[in-house]
Structure formats: structure tokens, C-alpha cells
Amino acid sequence: MAEARRRLFLALWPDEAVAGALDAAGLAAHHLCGGRRMRRDTLHLTLVFLGDVEASRVPGLVDALGAVEGDAFRLQLDTFGYWRHNHIVWAGCAERPAALDGLVQALRLRLAALDLSVAETGFVPHVTLLRKAAVAGALPALGPIAWPVAEFVLMESCLSDAGASYRRLAGWRLQGV
């Protein structure tokens, strides 16, 4: 019998204030673009998508990720983006903090040391706000959302007919908090 697998990803998870601001931005974008809004409780910024991982590896993964060091930083979400190929409207940042890229690199190195391969796609920091959206012209400016990032989390994605729900498995504080 095949071992149970869990669909995992590493992310930044917003606090209530940032989640509220992102939800409001999603509502404003929805008025312009239609589509399906992401639920407020699912808004996040994926750092690394691990995909299906054997359940027996999760405790070791949690231990290993505890050794990843990164600095706390402020993320300024100040732009809307649209990916035409998959009809997604997202919130992103015009300037990427070096600490964000450093954290993603440290996570990828740690995962490689654990023989967990992750796709080498170009990292575009974003929070998905709408799916199945239709953008006809330019999106308006996004009033800046200041996100003080103090931790990263390991999440499990649980898929069902009702859509995805996420379960927090572990979290780690960043330095300087």
C-alpha cells in the first residue's frame, strides 16, 4: 500500500490587518474584473510549493526548517498584476526586499539538502486575489499595503469539492522581531 502523502507549501501568512486590506483590494479588483474572489482566510504569499510529500517525512521537514535563518522585513504590496494565461489577478510589490529573496533561497537550499526537489520557476512574490478574472485594460494602482513579515509557515493544502482549505503545520519566527 502506498504511503499517505500531504500537499505542502511554505508561505507568508498575513495578520488580520493585512488580510483585511488584501481582502478589500480583492473586492475592488473584483468590481473591475469579475472572477472568483479568494476567501480572506486563504490569502497568503507562497514562498516555495513542495507538492505531495510523504507523511512520514513531515516531522523531519519541520525539524530541518527550524534551522533556516532569515531576517524580518517589511513587504510593501503596491501593485496589481494579471496573468492572462490563467486569468489570475494578484497583489505584488514593485520592489522586492532582499530579505525576502534571501529567505526563499535559504528555504530552497534546505529543501535540496533534504532531497526534496522543488520546481525552479522564477519566484514572483504575489498574493492571488481573483481567479477566472477578465482584465480588459490596465488595472488601477493598488494603495500600498504595508506587511510587516515576522515569520514563515509550513502549510498543508486540503482539496475538496468545496475548494482548498489550508492547515498550518508549523511556523518559524524571523530574526530581528
Integer Cα distance of 38 and 127 in angstroms:
10
Looking at 30, 31, 85, 126, which residue is catalytic? 126
Name residues whose C-beta falls within 8 Å of residue 10's C-beta, 6 or more positions apart in sequence: 46, 47, 48, 50, 65, 107, 152, 153, 154, 155
Quote the cell numbers at residue 64.
Answer: 530541518
Looking at 30, 31, 44, 85, which residue is catalytic? 44
Respond yes or no: is residue 30 known to be catalytic: no
Sign of CA dihedral 157, 52, 62, 154: negative
Respond yes or no: is residue 44 known to be catalytic: yes
Edge to edge, what strands does the sheet with 88-92 contain?
A: 36-37, 126-131, 88-92, 79-83
Name residue 54's amino acid. Answer: E
Measured in degrees and rounded to the nearest 5, phi and psi for residue 155 equal -120, 150
Query: Which residues participate in catalysis according to the annotation?
Result: 44, 126
